[in-house]
Every structure is written in structure tokens, then in C-alpha cells.
Amino acid sequence: MNRSTGWRLAAASLAAVVLSSAGTACSSSTGTAGADGGGASAGGTYTVWDPYPQFDAGSAWAKLLDTCGTQAGVQIKRTAFDTSDLTNKELLAAQQGNSPDVLIVDNPVVSTLAQAGVLTSTKENKVDTSAVSPNLLAAGQSGGETFGVPIGANTLALYYNKAVLKAAGVDVASVKDWASLTAALTKVKAAGKKGITFSGIGTEEGSFQFLPWFWGSGAQLTHLDSAQAASALSLWTDWVKQGLAPNSVINNTQTTSWQEFATGEFAFAENGTWQLANAKKAGFEYGVIPVPGMNGGTAPAPTGGEFVTVPVQKKTDRYSVSDKLVSCLTSADNSYATDTTLSYIAATPAVQDKQAAGDPDLKAWVDAVKAAKGRTSDDLGTKYPKISEQLWTSVQAALTGSKSPQAALSAAQSAAAH
């Protein structure tokens, strides 16, 4: 499963989201939805909702939940939902006073749930976040408070085909900024191969993939029409015009973009940590480098991955056990095992270093995650979905040629401000 999913965000109107969720089906692993009102602060049953229906009751993940429950002296009742259903289910449950004790939810949704009054802050539930990398923790912050702990993160980087670059006479070490990357793509095209593929589709996936270039230019999501933003969109547009990227990027999802790279004809592909397993069976030698910033360095890429949160409960004495469950699930040893299963990079520097030492292939991903940022960071919170929609709309307009990059972004800024 593509665990990069950060693009299924709640609708702008929380009321509409709650109402629309009433008929949504879920994929349940064990147990049923809702907290056990008969449980006390010690003993009893505690409910956990997660977005991992691919893991059944016999999986390492489900066993970890049971182990954490045993250590806390309680029984775990787990329900697994598809990511697209989970936010709506929780909003409805909160309205009914029936939230789970622990909720594991996609990071861009945390601020939406927090602003809806659904989640407790770490100050309230006493969950310790001191070991978490600040750039990853920021995705779960809103209004100066923190609402959970990241279980891990994934992000974007550039996969490259070693044989294609070698045939074109390109040393990947020379790719340090946008100019050197474009020069490499030009050499690849001249050698009869294809340059770079990515996802520019008119959905959150398109925004997700554009953000490293947007942020790598120095642009800010509060100013979509800045000169820096226009330089980023011009980069993508020029690549397509010059044949360095295929026209298919206009409609590519991250999956179809990967399928193009897997043909072995492309030099580069922008994609995520979740493609590592596919890369290893692609049939050709590959490498990974972080997305370069416009003038060098590593561009901030957006983070995917979930936060472990504690929803509001009528019986506040339950929080002490919920704290123990969250701490267990995100402990160094457990997060190392879980993040390996999910193809995530850990949320703490200590475990990140352990991952890089255990698997050299993860070094580039650790570097990318260290430079990454949450889409709702900078205290954007629930403003992000509207901004993102205008961003992907501008990308579509520029790539299809209906507007210049600057005109497309100016229209986006105007729409996002109203």
C-alpha cells in the first residue's frame, strides 16, 4: 500500500464531513469501533483506530498493539480503516462522544481534528515528545500546541537509473542544484534516453510532488505568486516544453510515474520511500539523491506518515493509560521495527541513525527527512487544503500551457486569499 497518503484531507466544512461519513464503509481488523466506557484508568479495554487495514490480527503491527496493551495492563480492541475513511469516522465518533482512546491518523489531518476540538494536546495527555525531530513534530502542531507523536515519516527524493546516467556521461555527484540537474537531463536526452518523470496531476498528489521544488526555490505557501514560486513552476514547465520530462506528467499519479521509471528508460524519477521495495526488484541498478534546492543543498520535501494521537474522552482518567500506549508504540525499539515494516524513516534522530547504519540505502532518505517539513507547518492548519487546491490548479494550468507560470500562480494566490 502506498503509505504516502497525505492527500486525502478533510473537507473545509467539518459539519459536511461528519454528515457525509455516515454511510462510509470501513475495513475492520479486530474489534469494533468506539471506546469501552466501562474501562477504568487501569485495566479494562482500550480502543485503537489505525489506517493500516493491510495488517491483519497476526501481523507484527497487531502484535505490537497487543504487547503495548499488556504492558499497560489493558486489553486492546483495534479497528483498522482505510486512510480516506478514518478522518470522517473520527469526526462522527467525536460528535457522538465515542472516540477511540488512541487514534493513528495521517499527519495533515492532525490540525483539522485539533481545531475541531477532537484531540487532546500533549500538555493535557502528558505524552513526551522531547526526542522527536522538530521539523517532523511541526506537522502535528496548531495554535502553539502539539497534538500527537509521529510514528515515522516518509518523503520524496529522486531515484536515478545508474546505467542511463552512465551512458549519457553524467556523474550523479555533479547534480547539486537545478541548473546542474537540467544539464544532466539535457545530456540524457541527447543520448537518446528520457529525462525525468514525476506526478503533476490535478490532485493533492500533484501538490505533494511540486512542493520540494516550490519550497526549494524559497517560496512560501502563504505567497503562491512570488518570484521564487514562479521559478519553480517555470522549471517544471520548461522541462516539459524541452522534452526533458514527458507530457504524461500532467496526468501522472505517483504510481503511474513510477511505472514509467520502472521501464528503465528514464534517468530520474521523483518518488517516495514507499517505492524502495519496487526499486529493488526493478531489474536495473538505481540510486537515490535528495531533491536539490534551486541554488544547492537539499530542498525541503513534504512529509507523509501518521501521528499517534489521544482523542478527547469524557473520562479523563483514561489518559494515563493512553499515554502509556502512545509511549510504547513510539518508543525507540518499537518504532525501529514498525518504521521498517512501513518503509518509514523514524521520527527521532537516534533511530534514524540506527536505520542508516543498518541499511545504507536509507542514508539518502534520512537526509531527505531531516530537511523535510509538514504541509500544515508554519501554522497553516486547516488553511492548507484550500491553498493546495490552488497550487495544483496552477501547476495544471502551466503544464498544459493555458497560462504562464506567473499568471497561473497569481490566479492561485487570488483564489486562495478569498
Residue 117 Ramachandran class (φ > 0 left, ψ -120 to 50 alpha, else beta): left
Nearest to 291 by CA among 156, 196, 185: 156
Topology adopted by domain 156-301+380-416: D-Maltodextrin-Binding Protein; domain 2 (3.40.190)
Kindly report, residue by residue over 276-325, the tens digit of the pLDDT: 989 999 999 999 999 999 999 999 999 999 999 999 999 999 999 999 99
Which has the closest alpha carbon to 252: 243, 242, 261? Answer: 261
Q: What is the pLDDT of residue 113?
A: 95
Residue 138 has pLDDT above 50, yes or no: yes
- Res 294: pLDDT: 98
pLDDT the model gives residue 3? 38
Instruction: Assess contact for 85 and 52: CB atoms under 8 A.
Output: no
Residue 223 pLDDT greater than 80, yes or no: yes
pLDDT at position 28 is 30
Among the listed ranges 70-74, 81-85, 208-212, 330-334, which one has the minimum average pLDDT value?
Answer: 81-85
Mean pLDDT of the region 129-143:
93
Q: How large a percentage of the chain has pLDDT more than 90?
A: 80
Q: What's the per-residue H, E or C state across the chain?
A: CCCCCCCCCCCCCHHHHHHHCCCCCCCCCCCCCCCCCCCCCCCCEEEEEECCCCCCCCCHHHHHHHHHHHHHCCEEEEEECCHHHHHHHHHHHHHCCCCCCEEEEEHHHHHHHHHCCCECCHHHHCCCCCCCCHHHHHHHEECCEECCEECCEECEEEEEEHHHHHHCCCCHHHCCCHHHHHHHHHHHHHCCCEEEECCCCCCHHHHHHHHHHHHHCCCCCCCCCCHHHHHHHHHHHHHHHCCCCCHHHHCCCHHHHHHHHCCCCEEEEEEEHHHHHHHHCCCCCEEEECCECCCCCECCCECECEEEECECCCCHHHHHHHHHHHHHHCCHHHHHHHHHHHCCECCCHHHHHHHHHHCHHHHHHHHHHHHCECCCCCCCHHHHHHHHHHHHHHHHHHHHCCCCHHHHHHHHHHHHCC
For position 37, what pLDDT does the model report? 42
Rounded CA-CA distance 406/188 in Å is 29
pLDDT tier for residue 83 given thresholds of 50, 70 and 90 = confident
Indicate the SS3 state at residue 196: strand
HSE-up of 70 (CA within 13 Å, CB side)? 6
The DSSP code sequence of 105-157 is: EEGGGHHHHHHTT-B--HHHH----TTS-HHHHGGGEETTEE--EE--BB-EE
- Please give the radius of gyration of the chain, using alpha carbons only, rounded to the nearest integer: 22
For residue 104, which phi and psi values (nearest 5 degrees)? Answer: -105, 115
> Strand 266-272 and strand 156-161: pairing?
antiparallel
pLDDT tier, 92 (very low <50, low <70, confident <90, very high otherwise): very high
Distance CA 9, CA 385 (A): 7
What pLDDT is stored for residue 42 in this prediction? 55
- Enter the pTM of the model: 0.84
> Where does 14-154+305-371 sit in CATH, by number?
3.40.190.10
173: DSSP letter: G
Report the Cα–Cα distance between both ends of the chain, in Å, rounded: 36
For 13-54, what is each residue's pLDDT tens digit?
332 333 222 222 223 334 333 444 444 445 799 999 999 999
pLDDT confidence band for 101 (50 / 70 / 90): very high
- What's the pLDDT at 31? 38
Residues 208-221 have a mean pLDDT of: 97
- pLDDT tier at 242 (50, 70, 90 boundaries)? very high
Whether 80 shows a pLDDT value over 80: the answer reads yes
Q: Measured between alpha carbons, how far is 249 from 369 in angstroms, rounded to an integer?
A: 24
Separation of CA 110 from chain center: 12
pLDDT at 79 over 90: yes
Residue ranges, CATH 3.40.190.10, the chain: 14-154+305-371, 156-301+380-416
